[in-house]
Structure 1
């Protein structure tokens, strides 16, 4: 069935009538009172300079820089030439990186002075459940690669129902151009362990180091629950019975470094990502035995640069680790329950093994392993296999009633990757890669922990 549509033709005479009426109206408007609509009750809007925005809880700067990895990775077929150490690297560093830096509280001049001073891994942060949290991202550009005008984003991986404008996924959101800033807003409602990364040119930016850890603490924190005869006030999840309570917590972020890709980026070359073959496997931006060295992260009050970590006992400084400030040494007292937040930001599967103890795995991908009807899906194991982009919340209880020798300060246990071929550092002798130590002290030796990964 068809239906004829009747259209009305506009004649030249009708068009002139309409046009003349519009011109007459416009001419008459100039005789209206100038004060019309200018009542004294109308207040002029505040200028932008008069608005005081809420300051961010965390200010991150995206840029490039250098870190240190031991050993050597030769360039095949080229005598006396190496991907690691990079011949462009300033001493004492040897590996080119992209990354983020915590510039919270720095002046604008200090912030822009952090160009070429990123860190591995990116700064760790945490948020309370239902807390309003503001993260400001500034793009400082890439000093070694002025030909790359890449934007940056912060994508909170696993955040449920994220607002697109704050999601950091540039295809449906926005990204931050060089010399510009954007403040992201979060109000997380699901406790657990997450990760974040840049989502612009993510194959390159993620591997080059723009990755970090974030976790959400449950609303139950601060309430006292007794579990197995011990009272806790810190928990991994809102368990209602204290089963996820802990005394200490440590974040372990797994990453990898393909030296050829890092060398190629510093030398204005394009790596073939289909040939991806990492040479180093890191925990919190370091390889063993550097994983056991003291944390850094202190800043020069004048320049804002990161200061080298220092051993609190010997006073030894490690300037080559200045931009790898977070260690992964675990310290605890006998009988302590220790929460390990395990994050895999590599491009493959890795099985991490705990020597001499078992984990109680209570969460995966920021989800409590308990059904809606209360069914317990948690489990005990000494090995956790993690896939790329996965996170686990696992608790171990340090052994009690250990026998210490007269000069024995602590007992040492290992936490390591079971793929033994990755426990090396670029051909250097001895163990390396994704391994760290757990040091158990006599009961009551260590004071209470004040922040995650605190020694």
Structure 2
């Protein structure tokens, strides 16, 4: 394959069967089973064949790297000897917990990319794509490189990118390593996608998936509908689905990614030990990679297509919070009274969660990237104050911001996990888990530049 930076030839991923470069013959042999399926499937009159995908080399739309790293969780309550981990580096201060994860290395030089080893983030970079339009066919490509693990060079774990729930025509790009390929350390691979179905999804590494998912190789991705841009149906021209009537129109959108940390498992990977997974428990429940009240602190650099980073490629911490350098996603929701706000929920923890929004009713308009419509097209959306979200599920919900009441600049509503053990980790002051705030202003919140942008 071709490096987007210098147009030099680099080896492609080869999976587990051998270290040699991927020739066209080898590619076709790996993807042969997919050819029979694709050859009988008509997707808008344009089929993605393995040969066409092989020719998709060039500058990727997004470039991700898999590696390890450290994040911050509250030092109290201490869980001796597992948390805080004594191996955690002191720079930046406040790091406590070892993770595996992804990093956005789009636009970096080769030396900058290599310097991101041991600088993974959680949750993984949020990104979004446009629905594939057969009339104007454009493929979306994600290049994945495996930088290896700095703390555990004894592990030769490959990585992959599995788009959970994505209806993929060609299994070669599914990311499940027994049916496609995985990326060994020091190699790279380009995934080619034609997203046909709008909605909210998640992605994760599918190699040793119980371990790699729990260690943090997880993120949220969504597909924007072709209906976007139509202001006749809804004033903003932005939608969750191709509804045809504006019912899923939105003014703002916020990703809400749910994950968990079992401190012993993270400690075990750092200290060359094996946890007993049947003893699993969630010591920390995270919302966008943080716990409350850190969930309402500012964003770092989270726009995947216009990334901002330090000269060496490292993430820049939110102002005043160096401990959150590798947890850049805020969960604070800001809006003006009367605006329609979309919340995109996805759960890649191992337990069911119950997310409640106090004082505001939410309308569920999509589940698992499927609009709430019956077989006859009838509306099956519903209102609720609590979402029960199972592992691997996603929900698209809308709410209309109520009138501003005052007397302050904004009114505060709480979005939190109704299961008390998931919203309070017993740290001083309580309420230290999956919780955030919705702040409703009378006016003055500027339009979003990207999802989760506060606009203030």
* TM-score bucket of the superposed structures, by smaller chain: 0.7 to 0.9
1:221 to 228, 242, 250: 228
Cα distance in 1 for partners of 2:179, 2:120 equals 27
2:193 to 186, 192, 198: 186
Could you report, residue by residue, the CA deviation over 1:212-267 in whole angstroms, capped at 9, with x for unpaired residues?
0000000000011346xxx3300000000000001000000000000000011100
2:145 to 138, 158, 165: 138
Partner in structure 1 of residue 395 of structure 2: 392
Alignment of 1:15-414 (within 5 A): 53-72=57-76, 74-75=78-79, 81-91=80-90, 92=93, 93-130=95-132, 131-226=138-233, 231-297=235-301, 299-310=308-319, 317-400=320-403, 402-405=404-407, 408-414=408-414
Could you report, residue by residue, the CA deviation over 1:286-335 in whole angstroms, capped at 9, with x for unpaired residues?
0000000000026444200001102xxxxxx1000000000100000001
Cα distance in 2 for partners of 1:105, 1:226 equals 37
Gaps of 5+ in 2: 1-54, 133-137, 302-306
Partners of 2:56 and 2:192 within 8 A in 1: no
Cα distance in 2 for partners of 1:135, 1:347 equals 27
Partners of 1:279 and 1:426 within 8 A in 2: no
Gaps of 5+ in 1: 1-50, 76-80, 311-316
After TM superposition, the runs of 4+ consecutive aligned structure 1 residues lying more than 6 A away are none
- 2:440 corresponds to 1:431: no
Partners of 1:155 and 1:198 within 8 A in 2: yes
Partner in structure 2 of residue 14 of structure 1: none
Cα distance in 1 for partners of 2:170, 2:227 equals 26
Could you report, residue by residue, the CA deviation over 1:38-88 in whole angstroms, capped at 9, with x for unpaired residues?
xxxxxxxxxxxxx9932000000000000000133545xxxxx43111000
Q: CA deviation at 1:426?
A: 5.6
- Three-state SS of the structure 2 residue aligned to 1:149 is coil
Q: Summarize the Cα distance change of 1:264–1:72 in structure 2 as closer, same or farther, 3 Å threshold.
A: farther
After TM superposition, the structure 1 stretch with the greater mean CA deviation from structure 2, 193-202 or 160-169, is: 160-169
Partners of 1:212 and 1:253 within 8 A in 2: yes
Q: TM-score, normalised by structure 2?
A: 0.83
Cα distance in 2 for partners of 1:233, 1:417 equals 32
- Three-state SS of the structure 2 residue aligned to 1:325 is coil
Cα distance in 1 for partners of 2:278, 2:425 equals 23
Q: TM-score, normalised by structure 1?
A: 0.83
Q: CA deviation at 1:430?
A: 2.2
Cα distance in 1 for partners of 2:168, 2:324 equals 38
Partners of 2:77 and 2:425 within 8 A in 1: no
Partner in structure 2 of residue 19 of structure 1: none
Cα distance in 1 for partners of 2:58, 2:153 equals 33
- Three-state SS of the structure 1 residue aligned to 2:290 is coil
Count of residues in Structure 1 that have an aligned counterpart in Structure 2: 387
Aligned residues: CA RMSD: 1.4
- Three-state SS of the structure 1 residue aligned to 2:266 is helix
Q: Summarize the Cα distance change of 1:190–1:266 in structure 2 as closer, same or farther, 3 Å threshold.
A: same
Partners of 1:73 and 1:82 within 8 A in 2: no
Cα distance in 2 for partners of 1:60, 1:200 equals 16
